[in-house]
Structure 1
Amino acid sequence: MLKNLLTDIAGVRVGHADDKRLASGVTAVIFDKPAVAAIDVRGGGPGTREGALLDVANTVEAIDAIALSGGSAFGLEAGGGVQAWLAEQGRGFAVRGAVIPIVPGAICFDLLNGGDKNWGRFAPYRDLGYAAAKAAGSDFALGSAGAGLGATTANFKGGLGSASAATPAGVRVAALAVVNAVGTVTIGDGPWFWAAPFEIGGEYGGRGLPSSFTPDMLAMRSKGGAAATSVENTTLAVVVTDALLTKAQAKRLAMIAQTGFARAIYPVHAPMDGDVLFAAATGEKPVDPLIGLTELGMVAANVVARAIARGVFAATALPFLGALPAWKDRFG
């Protein structure tokens, strides 16, 4: 049965590990078989692991997992934990007698959300990455969980969302998003989501759009106001399809799919954001390389927008003084 999750793609599992006191966590996307993958980076302040490996000019075609983490640059260690778990399973890219698990990743900044970040000499993200990989399965929580636990937006608690769909030809595509944007996912001070036109079945409240847009609704709201910096914000997304794609085609899918960010976040791809999207293909169904890939990207962008809105819709507020409210606290 389909669950409107990234794991609607066969051979994909997702696991979370987080620490409520830390107010941060890790999400691991595990592929049962290596998946062809690429990356598209549009934010002005990204933090990535193995991003160069995903360049279409470089050798390795397929990956074993993706690690998404809070913790800013400290969170890049989460990939090492996921890699360690995969190594125990004998998974990885073989180089004669050596086997190296391939685990790209990306991070978001959640160091100022009220959680206790005094972790001592070493940050906890490697251990959280291992735990997230070990916990991976077909069901996973949305909202304030995993890498979305500490996420925030300009006006509401951010979080982790997911959604899935299929093209008319039956090629399935799904997305997972960690929403920690400098801008807003909702319109003005109301309950409406920018991604409302793409909502399916009331998955983020069914509020639709306002009857008209006022100047106040279109004014920029930014996390931190004038004090916002290039390292404080990021939306991370993973798009997976069961299509049979080359690495170059996966790159094009990532580029088209990232337009879903612009359908769900206002403003987006700013100097204060580190927006990153990974696209991966499990290689089950052939697609036409022109019209078929274009349609797949179109559906993927819609799915990304829906995943972003669901992340904020499902979030719960952090239990700290001055913490941002959750959408459901005000409108639920």
Structure 2
Amino acid sequence: MQIQHDDITDVPGIRVGQITNLEAATGCTVVLCDTAAVGGVDVRGGAPATRETDLLHPLCLVDEVHAVLLTGGSAFGLDAATGIVRYLAEHTIGYDTGVARVPIVPAAALFDLALGSATIRPDAEDGYRACQQASTEAIIQGNEGAGTGATVGKSAGPSLAMKGGLGSASAQLPNGLWLGAIVAVNALGDILDPQTQQVLAGARSSQSGTSQTLFGNTTIAVVATNASLTKAEVNKVAQMAHNGIAQVIRPAHTPFDGDTVFALALGPKASTIPEPARAAQNVSLLGAVAAQTVARAIVKGVRAAQELHGIPASNHRSGYSS
């Protein structure tokens, strides 16, 4: 019997690997799919740094995703995807074009250059090593992977922010299927407990910052399930999962955030077309659970974070289990 971790590795077929550099305050997190997944994405923030997101649109041809990268380092960190592609190619994993298998690796980056080192960023070698370390074991959260240099509550400027981090959670549906989420929390806004509405981590001043101090945010996430979904359906799950960000981050999806949620469905492709109303009901349930799981992962990531380079962390360590 599989040991459950309350994180995204509870979803069958998902492995996670991470590279963490505490001195430079950056890192990357790779989500590997043991079988090709149907992928979707929804970008809500006004300042995204992404790779291969257009390909996930239902109107586009390729319906396979083999890994997703969440990374620090801003746009520089997207280079880590090159290492993931190399790793997958070495293992003959990718979309079959007839002449070669091309690995499909969407990615999103957050801005952590203001903490630690601005010149050390995740690179292709880090992406490759993260794949080598990927496993189904419990995920280390907080100052790990893509959440290493994450901060939150920057409305009064980065010097008055608090520590963000990497969080993950999972849920089992009544039909026995699993859904999990992993989130790197680097928001402009404050993080709230969804039950008490208490600020868990946020700006340490009520004064608003200037436009020059508000850059450098983004909450990025991957939601995965072993349900069978079409490309349109998995994009809807990604869209609904954003509600979890809005539940616990205030404000969310600002022009200074690059909030992005990827969704992966690893279930077998359906041999028959389900009745439309039933299919919509299933997607609605998955989307609602995805939002709740993303919210819980955000809270877990912030509570697990620790002080780094003088940026304090939340004192609220207990979790919640809604």
**TM-score normalised by structure 1 residue count:** 0.85
Flag the 1:28–1:222 CA change in 2: closer, same or farther, 3 A.
farther
How far apart in 2 are the matches of 1:62 and 1:252? 17
Contact 1:220–1:267 under 8 Å retained in 2: no
- Counterpart in the other structure of 2:157: none
Equivalent residue for 1:264, pick from 248, 259, 279: 248
Cα distance in 2 for residues equivalent to 1:297 and 1:220 = 33
Distance 1:331 1:31, change over 3 A: closer
Structure 1 residue matching 2:266: 3-state secondary structure: strand
Q: Does 1:314 align with 2:304?
A: yes
What do residues 6-46 of structure 1 show as CA deviations (whole Å, max 9, x unaligned)? 00000100010122221100100000011000000000000
| Residue type of the alignment partner of 1:6 | I
Q: For 1:3 and 1:87, how far apart are their aligned partners in 2?
A: 30
Cα-Cα RMSD: 2.5
Q: Provide the rounded CA distance (Å) in 2 between the counterparts of 1:85 and 1:43.
A: 30
Change (3 A) 1:324 1:59: same
Task: Give the conservation status (yes or no) of the 8 Å contact 2:165–2:184.
Answer: yes
Question: For the residues of structure 2 that align with 1:223 and 1:236, how far apart are their CA atoms?
Answer: 26
Question: Partners of 1:224 and 1:75 in 2: how far apart?
Answer: 29
Between the aligned partners of 1:162 and 1:276, the Cα distance in structure 2 is: 16
Tell me, in whole angstroms, the C-alpha distance in 1 between the residues paired with 2:122 and 2:303: 28
User: Does the residue aligned with 2:93 lie in a helix, a strand or coil?
Assistant: coil
Q: How many residues align?
A: 301
Larger displacement relative to structure 2 (239-248 or 148-157): 148-157
* Contact 2:72/2:122, CA 8 A, preserved across alignment: no
The 3-state SS of whatever aligns with 2:191 is: coil
SS in structure 2 of the partner of residue 239 of structure 1? strand
- 1:116 match: 117
2:89 counterpart of 1:87: yes
Q: How far apart are 1:117 and its partner, in Å?
A: 2.8
Matches for 1:155-170 after TM superposition, within 5 Å: 155-170=161-176
Q: For residue 311 of structure 2, what is the aligned residue in structure 1?
A: 324
Instruction: Assess if the C-alpha contact under 8 Å between 1:36 and 1:245 holds in 2.
Output: yes
1:284 deviation in Å?
4.8
Aligned equivalents of 1:291 and 1:135: distance in 2? Answer: 37
The residue type paired with residue 158 of structure 1 is G
Instruction: Please state how far the C-alpha of 1:223 moved relative to its aligned partner.
Output: 11
Q: What is the match of residue 189 of structure 1?
A: none
**TM-score under structure 2 length normalisation:** 0.87
Partner of 1:70: 72
The separation in 2 between residues aligned to 1:224 and 1:24, in whole angstroms, is: 26
CA distance in structure 1 between the aligned counterparts of 2:61 and 2:305, rounded to whole angstroms:
39
- Give the direction of change, closer, same or farther, for the CA distance of 1:104–1:219 in structure 2 (3 Å limit): closer
Report the Cα offset of residue 129 of structure 1.
1.0
8 Å CA contact retained: 1:69, 1:107: yes
Deviations 1:75-108 (A, max 9, x none): 1111111111111111111111211111000000
8 Å contact kept, 2:152–2:203: no
Contact 1:7 1:14 in 2 (8 A): yes
1:133-152 matched pairs, under 5 angstroms: 133-139=131-137, 140-152=139-151
What is the aligned partner in structure 1 of residue 156 from structure 2?
Answer: none
User: Is the 1:177–1:238 contact (alpha carbons within 8 Å) kept by the matching residues of 2?
Assistant: yes
Counterparts in 2 of 1:40 and 1:221: CA distance versus 1, 3 Å: farther
| Residues 68, 78 of structure 1: 8 Å contact kept | no
Q: Does 1:295 align with 2:279?
A: no
The 1:228–1:171 alpha-carbon spacing in structure 2 relative to 1, beyond 3 Å, is: farther
Cα deviation, 1:192-242, whole Å, max 9, x if unaligned, reads: x2x33xxxxxxxxxxx456xx9xxx99997998224567510000100011
Report % sequence identity. 42
Contact 2:304 2:317 in 1 (8 A): no
Structure 1 residue ranges without an equivalent (≥5): 187-192, 197-207
Runs of 4+ in 1 over 6 A off after TM superposition: 217-224
Distance 1:297 1:268 in 2: 18
Find the residue that maps to 1:82 and give its secondary structure.
Answer: helix
5+ residue gaps, structure 2, are 154-160
Which stretch has the larger CA shift, 78-87 or 65-74? 78-87
Counterpart amino acid of residue 130 in structure 1 = Y
Structure 1 residue 293 displacement after superposition = 1.1
